[in-house]
Protein backbone atom coordinates (compact mmCIF):
# COMPACT_ATOMS: atom_id res chain seq x y z
CA UNK A 1 0.00 0.00 0.00
CA UNK A 2 2.81 2.41 0.89
CA UNK A 3 4.55 1.90 -2.45
CA UNK A 4 1.28 2.34 -4.35
CA UNK A 5 0.50 5.60 -2.53
CA UNK A 6 4.03 6.84 -3.23
CA UNK A 7 3.58 5.99 -6.90
CA UNK A 8 0.28 7.90 -6.97
CA UNK A 9 1.83 10.98 -5.41
CA UNK A 10 4.74 11.01 -7.83
CA UNK A 11 2.70 9.94 -10.86
CA UNK A 12 0.05 12.56 -10.32
CA UNK A 13 2.59 15.37 -10.25
CA UNK A 14 4.04 14.49 -13.65
CA UNK A 15 0.97 15.08 -15.87
CA UNK A 16 0.28 18.48 -14.30
CA UNK A 17 2.90 20.13 -16.50
CA UNK A 18 1.07 19.01 -19.64
CA UNK A 19 -2.34 19.80 -18.16
CA UNK A 20 -1.45 23.49 -17.84
CA UNK A 21 -1.82 23.76 -21.63
CA UNK A 22 -5.25 22.12 -21.63
CA UNK A 23 -8.81 23.20 -20.94
CA UNK A 24 -11.75 21.29 -19.46
CA UNK A 25 -15.35 22.27 -20.21
CA UNK A 26 -17.86 21.18 -17.56
CA UNK A 27 -21.50 20.54 -18.51
CA UNK A 28 -23.98 20.12 -15.65
CA UNK A 29 -27.08 17.96 -15.66
CA UNK A 30 -30.82 18.48 -16.00
CA UNK A 31 -32.36 21.09 -13.73
CA UNK A 32 -28.95 21.84 -12.24
CA UNK A 33 -26.51 24.74 -12.52
CA UNK A 34 -22.78 25.19 -12.82
CA UNK A 35 -22.67 25.28 -9.02
CA UNK A 36 -23.33 21.53 -8.98
CA UNK A 37 -19.97 21.03 -10.73
CA UNK A 38 -18.06 23.42 -8.46
CA UNK A 39 -16.19 20.75 -6.49
CA UNK A 40 -15.03 19.15 -9.73
CA UNK A 41 -14.09 22.58 -11.08
CA UNK A 42 -11.91 23.36 -8.06
CA UNK A 43 -10.13 19.99 -8.28
CA UNK A 44 -9.42 20.43 -12.00
CA UNK A 45 -8.11 23.97 -11.50
CA UNK A 46 -5.80 22.74 -8.76
CA UNK A 47 -4.55 20.09 -11.20
CA UNK A 48 -3.50 23.00 -13.48
CA UNK A 49 -6.31 22.76 -16.03
CA UNK A 50 -8.05 25.82 -17.37
CA UNK A 51 -11.72 25.20 -16.57
CA UNK A 52 -14.88 26.57 -18.16
CA UNK A 53 -17.88 25.67 -16.01
CA UNK A 54 -20.62 26.13 -18.59
CA UNK A 55 -24.15 27.18 -17.75
CA UNK A 56 -27.15 26.43 -19.95
CA UNK A 57 -30.96 26.51 -19.52
CA UNK A 58 -31.45 22.75 -19.25
CA UNK A 59 -35.19 22.91 -18.50
CA UNK A 60 -36.18 25.56 -21.05
CA UNK A 61 -34.99 24.29 -24.43
CA UNK A 62 -34.74 21.03 -26.38
CA UNK A 63 -31.31 19.43 -26.60
CA UNK A 64 -30.50 20.62 -30.12
CA UNK A 65 -31.05 24.23 -28.98
CA UNK A 66 -28.68 23.76 -26.04
CA UNK A 67 -25.62 22.97 -28.17
CA UNK A 68 -24.74 26.65 -28.86
CA UNK A 69 -23.93 26.96 -25.15
CA UNK A 70 -21.25 24.30 -25.66
CA UNK A 71 -19.80 26.29 -28.56
CA UNK A 72 -19.65 29.40 -26.40
CA UNK A 73 -17.87 27.51 -23.62
CA UNK A 74 -15.32 25.99 -26.02
CA UNK A 75 -14.52 29.43 -27.42
CA UNK A 76 -13.45 30.49 -23.93
CA UNK A 77 -10.81 27.75 -23.96
CA UNK A 78 -8.93 29.35 -26.83
CA UNK A 79 -6.64 27.26 -29.04
CA UNK A 80 -5.53 24.71 -26.43
CA UNK A 81 -6.66 21.09 -26.23
CA UNK A 82 -10.28 20.89 -25.06
CA UNK A 83 -11.45 18.11 -22.74
CA UNK A 84 -14.97 17.63 -21.38
CA UNK A 85 -16.49 16.40 -18.12
CA UNK A 86 -20.27 16.08 -18.18
CA UNK A 87 -23.02 15.04 -15.80
CA UNK A 88 -26.24 13.30 -16.84
CA UNK A 89 -28.03 15.36 -19.54
CA UNK A 90 -24.78 17.26 -20.14
CA UNK A 91 -23.41 14.13 -21.79
CA UNK A 92 -26.25 14.01 -24.31
CA UNK A 93 -25.92 17.72 -25.04
CA UNK A 94 -22.22 17.14 -25.68
CA UNK A 95 -22.89 14.17 -27.96
CA UNK A 96 -25.30 16.30 -30.00
CA UNK A 97 -22.69 19.05 -30.25
CA UNK A 98 -19.83 16.72 -31.18
CA UNK A 99 -21.88 15.17 -33.96
CA UNK A 100 -21.82 18.47 -35.84
CA UNK A 101 -19.01 20.50 -34.28
CA UNK A 102 -16.18 18.22 -33.20
CA UNK A 103 -13.07 20.42 -32.78
CA UNK A 104 -9.68 19.48 -34.17
CA UNK A 105 -8.16 20.04 -30.71
CA UNK A 106 -10.52 17.64 -28.91
CA UNK A 107 -8.94 15.85 -25.96
CA UNK A 108 -10.56 13.30 -23.66
CA UNK A 109 -14.18 13.13 -22.54
CA UNK A 110 -15.49 11.87 -19.20
CA UNK A 111 -19.24 11.40 -18.81
CA UNK A 112 -20.70 10.98 -15.32
CA UNK A 113 -23.99 9.04 -15.23
CA UNK A 114 -25.04 9.84 -18.82
CA UNK A 115 -28.38 8.48 -20.16
CA UNK A 116 -26.69 7.26 -23.33
CA UNK A 117 -29.36 4.63 -23.97
CA UNK A 118 -32.14 6.86 -22.69
CA UNK A 119 -33.84 6.85 -19.31
CA UNK A 120 -36.47 4.38 -18.13
CA UNK A 121 -37.65 7.06 -15.72
CA UNK A 122 -38.33 9.35 -18.69
CA UNK A 123 -40.39 6.52 -20.21
CA UNK A 124 -42.40 5.89 -17.03
CA UNK A 125 -43.22 9.54 -16.42
CA UNK A 126 -43.81 10.49 -20.05
CA UNK A 127 -46.75 12.85 -20.29
CA UNK A 128 -46.81 13.51 -16.55
CA UNK A 129 -46.73 16.88 -14.82
CA UNK A 130 -43.24 16.00 -13.57
CA UNK A 131 -41.90 15.68 -17.09
CA UNK A 132 -43.65 18.91 -18.01
CA UNK A 133 -41.80 20.72 -15.23
CA UNK A 134 -38.47 19.21 -16.30
CA UNK A 135 -38.80 20.77 -19.74
CA UNK A 136 -38.44 19.74 -23.39
CA UNK A 137 -34.98 18.20 -23.07
CA UNK A 138 -36.22 15.68 -20.49
CA UNK A 139 -38.92 14.53 -22.90
CA UNK A 140 -36.22 13.60 -25.44
CA UNK A 141 -34.51 11.14 -23.09
CA UNK A 142 -36.69 8.08 -23.67
CA UNK A 143 -35.30 4.61 -24.39
CA UNK A 144 -37.10 4.05 -27.69
CA UNK A 145 -35.10 3.58 -30.91
CA UNK A 146 -36.18 7.01 -32.15
CA UNK A 147 -35.17 8.86 -28.97
CA UNK A 148 -32.36 11.37 -29.35
CA UNK A 149 -29.78 9.51 -27.22
CA UNK A 150 -30.26 6.38 -29.36
CA UNK A 151 -29.99 8.34 -32.62
CA UNK A 152 -26.77 10.23 -31.87
CA UNK A 153 -24.56 7.29 -32.75
CA UNK A 154 -21.40 5.78 -31.23
CA UNK A 155 -18.46 7.66 -29.76
CA UNK A 156 -15.59 8.27 -32.17
CA UNK A 157 -13.48 10.08 -29.56
CA UNK A 158 -11.66 9.05 -26.38
CA UNK A 159 -14.55 8.55 -23.97
CA UNK A 160 -14.60 7.29 -20.41
CA UNK A 161 -17.90 6.75 -18.59
CA UNK A 162 -18.44 6.61 -14.84
CA UNK A 163 -21.72 5.06 -13.67
CA UNK A 164 -23.11 4.79 -10.15
CA UNK A 165 -24.83 1.86 -8.47
CA UNK A 166 -25.96 3.48 -5.23
CA UNK A 167 -29.51 4.83 -4.93
CA UNK A 168 -30.99 7.45 -2.62
CA UNK A 169 -34.36 7.18 -4.39
CA UNK A 170 -36.09 3.83 -3.70
CA UNK A 171 -39.21 4.87 -5.62
CA UNK A 172 -37.32 5.48 -8.85
CA UNK A 173 -35.07 2.48 -8.26
CA UNK A 174 -38.13 0.24 -8.07
CA UNK A 175 -38.87 1.20 -11.68
CA UNK A 176 -35.36 0.38 -12.90
CA UNK A 177 -34.16 -3.05 -13.95
CA UNK A 178 -30.67 -3.87 -12.70
CA UNK A 179 -28.00 -1.95 -10.77
CA UNK A 180 -28.76 1.77 -10.80
CA UNK A 181 -27.96 5.14 -9.24
CA UNK A 182 -31.56 6.05 -8.44
CA UNK A 183 -32.13 7.63 -11.86
CA UNK A 184 -30.37 5.44 -14.44
CA UNK A 185 -29.32 1.83 -14.76
CA UNK A 186 -25.63 1.16 -15.13
CA UNK A 187 -26.36 -0.49 -18.48
CA UNK A 188 -28.07 2.63 -19.84
CA UNK A 189 -24.89 4.70 -19.39
CA UNK A 190 -22.84 2.61 -21.81
CA UNK A 191 -22.12 3.77 -25.35
CA UNK A 192 -20.66 1.97 -28.33
CA UNK A 193 -17.14 3.20 -29.06
CA UNK A 194 -16.34 4.21 -25.47
CA UNK A 195 -12.73 3.65 -24.41
CA UNK A 196 -13.45 2.70 -20.79
CA UNK A 197 -16.33 2.29 -18.33
CA UNK A 198 -16.29 2.00 -14.56
CA UNK A 199 -19.01 1.67 -11.92
CA UNK A 200 -18.63 3.38 -8.52
CA UNK A 201 -20.75 3.16 -5.38
CA UNK A 202 -22.18 6.67 -5.81
CA UNK A 203 -25.59 8.24 -6.39
CA UNK A 204 -26.75 10.03 -9.52
CA UNK A 205 -27.29 13.39 -7.85
CA UNK A 206 -23.89 13.73 -6.17
CA UNK A 207 -21.64 11.55 -8.31
CA UNK A 208 -19.51 14.55 -9.33
CA UNK A 209 -18.57 15.40 -5.72
CA UNK A 210 -17.23 11.99 -4.70
CA UNK A 211 -13.42 11.83 -4.22
CA UNK A 212 -13.27 8.55 -6.15
CA UNK A 213 -15.14 10.11 -9.07
CA UNK A 214 -12.82 13.11 -9.07
CA UNK A 215 -9.70 10.93 -8.90
CA UNK A 216 -10.91 8.64 -11.68
CA UNK A 217 -11.86 11.65 -13.80
CA UNK A 218 -8.37 13.12 -13.41
CA UNK A 219 -6.84 9.76 -14.24
CA UNK A 220 -8.84 9.40 -17.45
CA UNK A 221 -8.17 12.96 -18.57
CA UNK A 222 -4.45 12.35 -18.15
CA UNK A 223 -4.14 8.73 -19.29
CA UNK A 224 -7.24 7.87 -21.32
CA UNK A 225 -8.21 5.06 -18.95
CA UNK A 226 -9.50 4.51 -15.42
CA UNK A 227 -7.51 2.99 -12.56
CA UNK A 228 -9.39 -0.05 -11.29
CA UNK A 229 -6.81 -0.60 -8.56
CA UNK A 230 -7.58 2.73 -6.92
CA UNK A 231 -9.40 2.53 -3.59
CA UNK A 232 -11.28 5.26 -1.73
CA UNK A 233 -8.42 6.13 0.63
CA UNK A 234 -5.98 6.45 -2.26
CA UNK A 235 -8.47 8.59 -4.19
CA UNK A 236 -8.86 10.92 -1.22
CA UNK A 237 -5.07 11.11 -0.90
CA UNK A 238 -4.78 11.95 -4.59
CA UNK A 239 -7.29 14.81 -4.36
CA UNK A 240 -5.64 16.19 -1.22
CA UNK A 241 -2.24 15.97 -2.90
CA UNK A 242 -3.47 18.17 -5.74
CA UNK A 243 -4.52 20.86 -3.27
CA UNK A 244 -1.15 20.79 -1.51
CA UNK A 245 0.71 21.01 -4.81
CA UNK A 246 -1.37 24.05 -5.76
CA UNK A 247 -0.65 25.77 -2.44
CA UNK A 248 3.11 25.31 -2.90
CA UNK A 249 2.89 26.74 -6.42
CA UNK A 250 1.22 29.97 -5.23
Q: Cα dihedral angle (76, 114, 31, 126), rounded to 10 degrees?
A: 140
Which residues fall within 8 angstroms of residue 230, CB to CB, at 6 or more apart? Answer: 8, 212, 215, 216, 219, 238
CA R_g for the chain: 18
Of 24-28, 143-147, 185-189, the range with the lowest mean pLDDT is 143-147
Provide the residue ranges of all domains of the chain, joining segments of one domain with +: 2-249
Q: Give residue 131's pLDDT.
A: 67
Q: Give residue 3's pLDDT.
A: 40
- Tabulate helix, strand, coil % of the chain (nearest 5): 45, 15, 40
Name which of 228, 238, 235, 173 is nearest 205 in CA terms.
173
What's the CATH number of domain 2-249, 3.40.50.1820, 3.30.470.20, 3.50.50.100, 3.40.50.1950? Answer: 3.40.50.1820
Q: Which long-range contacts (CB under 8 A, 24 or more apart) does 137-144 make?
A: 137/30, 137/58, 137/59, 137/61, 137/62, 137/63, 137/66, 137/89, 137/93, 138/30, 138/59, 138/89, 140/62, 140/63, 140/92, 141/89, 141/92, 141/115, 142/118, 143/117, 143/118, 143/119, 143/188, 144/118
Please compute the mean of the pLDDT values over residues 132-151 and round it to a whole number.
91
Strands of 153-195, DSSP E = 159-164
More confident residue, 171 or 194: 194
In this prediction the pTM is 0.89
Per the prediction, the chain carries an average pLDDT of: 88
Amino acid sequence: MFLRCLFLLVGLALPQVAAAAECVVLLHGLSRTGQSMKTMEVALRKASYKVVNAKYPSTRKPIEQLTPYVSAAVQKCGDVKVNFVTHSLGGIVLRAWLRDSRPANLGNVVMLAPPNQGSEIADDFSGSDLMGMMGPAAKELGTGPDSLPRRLGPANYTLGIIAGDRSANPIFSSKLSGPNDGMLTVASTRLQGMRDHITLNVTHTFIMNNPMTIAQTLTFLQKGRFDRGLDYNEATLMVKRIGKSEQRAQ
